[in-house]
Chain A
């Protein structure tokens, strides 16, 4: 029992150190803003695409605010995942019962996708992905028969 407790104390201590430096990086769905944030909502890095500035001051404010929120949620979710890994799902569920749901549960798909125009039926088939010269992983999975 003592050994189990000792292990648990060590795991908690390690977890505390991990969580202190934990951040998450998220790109806004429009691809014009990237934020690295801590679970406490601190902005550790912020990258603005020049095209975002061309959309005007209001757009910059809104997109940055939203991206920081998404990055913070991602960091909180990562914390929950790390906690569940280190201390077990039971403790993670206990913490959720005290601190509230993890972002994965409470804000799943937080960005509202753009609404398709009225009467705009979805296409029957997705257009074929063009073959890329220098395929990265994503391109490979989208097009497994491409040259490689």
Chain B
């Protein structure tokens, strides 16, 4: 059991190093999404809470319920974009199937303003 953990830890360290070197070159991986009218903008991280949520003055007119729903929608879209970017960034150093299994899916629709969903 200890051997397994030790081996897993070693593998994680190796991948971590490869990833760190890669990210150093490409910069931090984030995803960005906005409402069509710019009411809400979210900069998301893959697999973590949003880095920044900004709300325009006009967005306050949506009221607490409408604004909350819009923040949730944009945050989800930003996180999908972040996951997709992480997938693209790491697929050269980590098996893409493992990335997908971890929930970092690569999306075709990378356009920030494409509202196809």
Tell me the A residues contacting B by CB distance below 8 Å. Answer: 37, 40-43, 46-50, 52-53, 56-58, 60-61, 64-65, 68-69, 71-72, 94, 97-98
Contact flag A57-B59 (CB < 8 Å), given A65-B52, A65-B53: yes
> Is residue B90 contacting chain A, with contact meaning CB distance below 8 A?
no
| Cross-chain contact B68 with A48 (CB below 8 angstroms) | yes
Q: Which residues of B contact A40 (CB under 8 A)?
A: 47-48, 103
Q: Which residues of B contact A42 (CB under 8 A)?
A: 75-76, 79
The listed residue with most B CB atoms (<10 A of its CB), out of A41, A52, A53, is: A41
Q: Which residues of A contact B68 (CB under 8 A)?
A: 46-48
Q: Which residues of A contact B50 (CB under 8 A)?
A: 41, 65, 68
- The CA of A124 and the CA of B51, in the complex, are separated in Å by 41
Mark out the residues of chain B between 39 and 87 whose CB falls within 8 Å of any chain A CB in the assembled complex: 44-45, 47-57, 59-60, 63-65, 67-69, 71-72, 75-76, 79
- The CA of A14 and the CA of B52, in the complex, are separated in Å by 34
Main secondary structure of the interface of A (DSSP, over half): helix
| Cross-chain contact B47 with A48 (CB below 8 angstroms) | no
Q: Which residues of B contact A72 (CB under 8 A)?
A: 48-49
- The CA of A98 and the CA of B76, in the complex, are separated in Å by 28
- The CA of A132 and the CA of B12, in the complex, are separated in Å by 55
